[in-house]
Amino acid sequence: MTEFVDTAAEAVARVQDGSTVLLGGFGNAGQPMELIDALLESGTTGLTVVSNNAGQGDRGLALLIKERRVRKVICSFPRQSDSWHFDEAYRAGDIELELVPQGNLAERLRAAGAGIGAFFTPTGYGTTLAEGKETREIDGRHYVLEHPIRGDVALIKAHTADDAGNLLYRKTARNFGPVMATAAAHTVVQVQQRVPVGSIDPEHVVTPGIYVDTVTALGADPARPEGQPENHPQEAKHA
């Protein structure tokens, strides 16, 4: 049964030192900034973070890395023009990196949620990313064996949750949220609004509440650019 809490601090209370944290977001889109801020305040350290990026600028995951709270990052895009905190930590030897092609990252997370033990993929075959991994030729094509990525906790962002924990996302902010919600032992979600059961058309539910453990409704993102319209529930249903 989904638990609703009032603050981000309560929501992240289950994250312990050394946890593997699945962190939603594609860059800043869909990244649960308030949950990450609460994680910073909690002092939790030694984390393994699974995310598409390794942080950018001076917000969110980048600050966790800056404060040396992250022991290892598993991601697809560790470097970009504003990934200076990851760059500094990596060059100093303070953080470990496991580079995973983006499609493999999504599928390894999905496999964890679906109970798949491992799967073969052609992506990465013949590169350094396949070193030490089992390979196999199937129907004349070469494949690499990849294993699921499971998390102790998933921290994700959605637009709306109903009282049963069913989730709607906001357009591209959806990204890794749905697969991460299924791949963690405990899923924590920050949402903009909470609505009664029945407010969301069952056909529009993206993540069923069975995968959602803790929800906190924190309102609109304070970093929304001035003049950008607020999300509308009806629009979100069709996003």
Q: Which CATH number goes with the domain that contains 76?
A: 3.40.1080.10
Do the domain assignments include residue 225? no
Q: Is 145 helix (H, G, I), strand (E, B) or coil?
A: strand
Q: Which residues, 6 or more positions from 236, have their beta carbon under 8 angstroms from its beta carbon? A: 159, 160, 168, 169, 170
Give, rounded to a whole angstrom, the gap between the first and last alpha carbons of the chain. 26
User: Are the beta carbons of 63 and 88 closer than 8 angstroms?
Assistant: no
**Geometric angle at alpha carbon 227, from 223 and 233, rounded to 5°:** 80
pLDDT, one tens digit for every residue, the chain (239 residues): 899 999 999 999 999 999 999 999 998 899 999 999 999 999 999 999 999 999 999 999 999 999 999 999 999 999 988 999 999 999 999 999 999 999 999 999 999 999 999 999 999 999 999 999 999 999 999 999 999 999 999 999 999 999 999 999 999 999 999 999 999 999 999 999 999 999 999 999 999 999 999 999 997 765 554 334 334 333 333 33
Total number of domains in the chain = 1
- From the list 31, 99, 98, the residue with the least C-alpha distance to 64 is 31
Do the domain assignments include residue 237? no
pLDDT score of 120? 98
Distances (CA, A) of 89 to 20, 47, 73: 19, 14, 11
Q: Is 114 helix (H, G, I), strand (E, B) or coil?
A: helix
Do the domain assignments include residue 70? yes
- From the list 129, 101, 105, 114, the residue with the least C-alpha distance to 24 is 105
Question: Do the bridges between strand 119-121 and strand 151-157 make them parallel or antiparallel, or are there none, so unpaired?
Answer: unpaired
pLDDT score of 221? 62
Identify the domain containing residue 163 by its residue range: 3-125+136-219
Q: Which residues, 6 or more positions from 62, have their beta carbon under 8 angstroms from its beta carbon? A: 55, 56, 83, 85, 86
What does pTM read for this prediction?
A: 0.90
Do the domain assignments include residue 228? no
